[in-house]
């Protein structure tokens, strides 16, 4: 089984100077947990929903929200992203992906082709969904 057979080819990206308000809106409107950060078309980082939650005030959207709370949404993606993410080639095996997940403290892998162009994303959830399908049949 190759990574390209189970990865998500729909990739949502943000840029380094996008605000956390943009990231928050994407996470609220889509069922993604990771956004890939690009600069001039090149992958430079990853932002997770957990990164966002750590970076913004917990009072946002509450009755006690203040200007200082909402100001946290003006931070830029580059301030909270994980830089130089571990990537995986689309022709890597599922075993290779599992080994990388187990050897690193990550929850997604950007997937690239042979020319290092971004073509997808693989999460441990994608792997579990695939394995569940194998167990049901």
The answer to whether 15 touches 78, Cβ cutoff 8 Å, is no
pLDDT for the residue numbered 61: 84
Tokens coding 53: 């939650």
pLDDT for the residue numbered 137: 58
Torsion on CA atoms 90, 92, 94, 97, rounded to nearest 10: -90
pLDDT for the residue numbered 108: 95
- The span from the CA of 23 to the CA of 2, in Å, is 30
Residue 136 pLDDT > 80: no
Tokens coding 60: 């946002």
pLDDT for the residue numbered 47: 97
Phi and psi angles of residue 45, each rounded to the nearest 5 degrees, phi first: -175, 180
Which 3 state secondary structure label does DSSP give 76? Answer: strand
How much is the average pLDDT of 47-53? 96
- Structural domains in the chain, CATH included, are 3-136 (3.10.580.10)
Answer whether 0.75 is exceeded by the pTM.
Answer: yes
- The span from the CA of 52 to the CA of 26, in Å, is 11
């Amino acid at each position: 089984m190759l990574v390209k057979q189970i990865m998500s080819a729909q990739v949502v990206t943000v840029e380094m100077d996008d605000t956390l308000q943009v990231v928050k809106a994407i996470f609220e409107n889509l069922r993604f947990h990771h956004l890939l950060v690009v600069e001039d078309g090149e992958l430079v980082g990853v932002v997770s929903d957990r990164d966002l939650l750590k970076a913004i005030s917990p009072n946002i959207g509450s009755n006690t929200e203040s200007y200082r709370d909402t100001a946290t949404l003006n931070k830029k993606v580059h301030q909270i992203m994980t830089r130089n993410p571990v990537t995986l080639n689309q022709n890597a095996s599922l075993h290779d992906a599992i080994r990388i997940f187990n050897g690193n403290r990550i929850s997604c892998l950007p997937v690239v082709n042979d020319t290092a162009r971004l073509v997808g994303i693989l999460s441990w959830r994608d792997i579990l969904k695939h394995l569940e399908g194998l167990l049901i049949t």
